[in-house]
Structure 1
Amino acid sequence: MTLDHKKLAVIHIVKRELDLSDDDYRDILERETGVRSAKDLDEKGFRRLMRAFAASGYYRINKHGLTLRQKMYIGHLADDLGWDEEHLKNFLNKYYHKQEIERLTKGEASKVIESLKNILKRE
């Protein structure tokens, strides 16, 4: 059975977020699942591919351990707050002395997430 369109979309979002070339993406896909197209994946292959992304250096945004999941969650929380990119950038600069999400360490990103969640609770 093939994957539903939502899971295929997740794969392609991750590919884009990780800035993988098409060749690199297909090589990872083939190495981990035995297929060269996400359309040929089943549920087991999807889980294997996602675990491979999570366990590999590809899943890390920077050398300080920031993960794609953290980056996406921070963006989601900022959207929930109604913040534009400039507002988020100013927040990061003021409290974390970083100009952009990609410069955060894994620990800093965790603190940013908790801060944004607390701000959201108060609103």
Structure 2
Amino acid sequence: MLDHKKLAVIHIVKKELQVSDQEYRDTMEKVAGVRSAKDLDEPGFQRLMRYFARSTHYRASREGITFRQRMYIKHLLEDLAWDSLHCANFLKKYYKTSNIGTLSKTEASKVIEALKHILAGRQKMEGQE
């Protein structure tokens, strides 16, 4: 049984892909052998994520942000407890866009490193208190 964070990731992906419930369940059955995310085991989850990562839905061009980068950025934003407005302002100030999806692969890597640096600094400050 998967933890709630992994189930949430699956449902975020479903929403981003804008697929019908039928298509979503058919994909899960084809890739992982189940029709409900609740029935996925860890290997099934990994197969489903690899399938989504290869999907053309997640990259506008060869140079565009990858699925893996997008999910990692979302994870870092959650760890930082940044809301969508804070994220948009950060992106606008440093990367001249307010949308994660418009980042290039290179820009996304820079965003990831910046967010990791901010998180590490925050954790260091919290450790000193």
Provide the TM-score with structure 2 as the length reference. 0.68
Cα distance change, pair 55–25 in 1 and its aligned pair in 2 (3 A):
same
* Greater mean deviation of Cα atoms: 95-104 or 14-23: 14-23
Instruction: Give RMSD over aligned pairs.
Output: 2.7
Whether contact under 8 Å (2:64, 2:102) holds in the other structure is no
Show the counterpart of 1:16.
Answer: 15
Query: Unaligned 5+ residue runs, structure 2?
Result: 123-129
Q: How far apart, CA to CA, are the structure 1 residues paired with 2:35 and 2:10?
A: 13
Map 1:19-38; keep pairs closer than 5 Å.
19-38=18-37
Secondary structure at 2:97's aligned position in 1?
Answer: coil
1:109 aligns with 2:108: yes
Query: Unaligned 5+ residue runs, structure 1?
Result: none
Offset at 1:26? 1.8
Whether contact under 8 Å (1:92, 1:100) holds in the other structure is yes
Whether contact under 8 Å (1:35, 1:41) holds in the other structure is yes
Show the counterpart of 2:49.
Answer: 50
Encode CA deviations 1:23-79: one digit per residue, 9 max, x unaligned.
Answer: 221221232234433344444433322221222224x15434323332233233334
Offset at 1:108? 0.8
Secondary structure at 1:29's aligned position in 2?
Answer: helix
- Bigger relative contact order, structure 1 or 2 (CA pairs below 8 A, ≥6 apart): 1
Question: What is the percentage of aligned positions where both structures have the same residue?
Answer: 58
Aligned residues: 120
